[in-house]
Amino acid sequence: MKHIRTVGLLVILVFTLAFPFLFPNAAVTTMAVFTLLFAGAATSWNLFSGYTGYVSLGYVTFYGIGAYTLALCCKYWNIEGGYLPFVLLPLAGLVAAIFAIPLGWIVLRVQRHTFVVVTIAMMFTFQLLAYNLKSITNGSSGILLPFPPWGPDFFNVPFYYVALALLFFALSVSWWVRSSKYGLGLLAIRDDEERVLGLGVKTGIYKLAAFVISAFFGGMIGGMIAYFLGSIFPSGAFDPVFDITITLMCFLGGIGTLVGPILGALLLGPLQQYITLQVGSIGTGLDLLLFGALLLIILLFLPEGIVPSLQHLWVIGKESKSMEEKQNRG
């Protein structure tokens, strides 16, 4: 059993590493880059919201902060396109994480239901700041990022590998958190916060730390997408739809699980792009209608997400097998 799992994982690893060379079509690799970035965003969002149970719809705030950090660094330090902006990504993440500390402190003071709304307010605050602080952010005209010098055929490949690296990084941090005592505390906070507090766990620090880690990845991914797209605007950098999309991806895959967000991203990412591209051209609004209907069906029939449902089926399958064996013996 264990062998099958390791072999399966190895196959997936080799496949993802070789992907750009197996499918050199630029459209496919572009979709792959976006899917990987969404998966990384979903995994790090899950690290906070999935494990602690505090649904944050403000994740995109840090995405935007990271994006603007990278753009401003490139602008003021006169950085050329190429591999150097990739090196600046951790800086973008760090700046976002630094912003996350006071923001997280304010925002985590409220109860669970209010938290959702407050994170939305936080996001809109930063969007408005981006629009209005024209001297720094250039307002609605946005900022251009340097254009990488490698040719159109090869264009997506470095982005793909950096996105893959980011995903691995996020996944390994998520895995490390989940299997540590810290992660146990987070999951306990999700289940029953008052009891955990009564047991002596410092919930404030736990939540804030998860928030900041999540923001760090958000900043890096934001910087990455900004560089990939080549420019950022306030409405694109602080986009509420992005938040809802990653929430849905985590939800679809199984919130609070390790690989759920990735699964959700793999399923939902291409689907969303497909619907927007194919159907959006026919009549405005039809793509929204279809997407909404699809979401409703998924949400109502798979309320826990795919991974937990599969886990249930697995457990049921095992139990029925052992029942059969007992019956055969007896």
Partner 1 sequence: MTLIIEAIVLGILTGSVYALMSSGLTLVFGVMEIVNIAQGIMVILGAYLSYVVGMYLHIDIFLGLLLTMPVMFVIGVGIEWAFVRRIKKNRVMLSILVMYAVALMIEGSLDLIFSASFVQLQAPYIDAAFPILGFHLPYVYIFACILSIVLLALLYLLVYCTKFGHGLRASMQNRTAAVLVGIDVQKVQTIAFGIGVALAAAGGLAYGATNSFNAASSYDLIARLLVIIVMGGMGSLRGAFVASLVMLIISDVTAVIWSPVWSSLIFNVLLMVLLIFRPQGLFGQLEGRKQ
Residues that bind partner 1 (CB under 8 A): 55, 57, 106-107, 109-114, 116-118, 120-122, 124-125, 128-129, 131-132, 194, 240, 244, 247-248, 251, 255, 283-293, 295-296, 299-300, 303-304
Q: Are 235 and 123 spatial neighbours (Cβ–Cβ below 8 Å)?
A: no
Nearer of residues 55 and 166 to partner 1, judged by Cβ: 55
Q: Are 40 and 167 spatial neighbours (Cβ–Cβ below 8 Å)?
A: yes
Least distance from C-beta 100 to partner 1, angstroms? 14
Least distance from C-beta 165 to partner 1, angstroms? 30
Q: How many CA atoms lie within 13 A of 117 on its CB side?
A: 4
Nearer of residues 113 and 321 to partner 1, judged by Cβ: 113
Ordered alpha helix ranges (H), the chain: 2-22, 26-45, 51-52, 59-76, 84-107, 112-132, 134-137, 156-178, 181-191, 193-198, 203-229, 234-237, 240-253, 260-280, 286-301, 306-329
Least distance from C-beta 57 to partner 1, angstroms? 8
Least distance from C-beta 233 to partner 1, angstroms? 16
Nearer of residues 28 and 275 to partner 1, judged by Cβ: 275
DSSP 204-220: HHHHHHHHHHHHHHHHH
- List beta partners, residue 143: 232
Nearer of residues 240 and 270 to partner 1, judged by Cβ: 240
Q: How far apart are CA 186 and CA 214, in angstroms?
A: 13
Nearer of residues 126 and 227 to partner 1, judged by Cβ: 126
Least distance from C-beta 326 to partner 1, angstroms? 31
Q: How far apart are CA 178 and CA 172, in angstroms?
A: 10
Least distance from C-beta 281 to partner 1, angstroms? 14
Q: Are 158 and 150 spatial neighbours (Cβ–Cβ below 8 Å)?
A: yes
Nearer of residues 6 and 284 to partner 1, judged by Cβ: 284
Least distance from C-beta 249 to partner 1, angstroms? 11
Q: How many CA atoms lie within 13 A of 83 on its CB side?
A: 4
Nearer of residues 94 and 120 to partner 1, judged by Cβ: 120
The residues, ordered by sequence, that sit 6+ positions from 201 with a Cβ below 8 Å of its Cβ are 185, 188, 189
Q: Are 315 and 323 spatial neighbours (Cβ–Cβ below 8 Å)?
A: no
Nearer of residues 103 and 225 to partner 1, judged by Cβ: 103
Least distance from C-beta 203 to partner 1, angstroms? 15
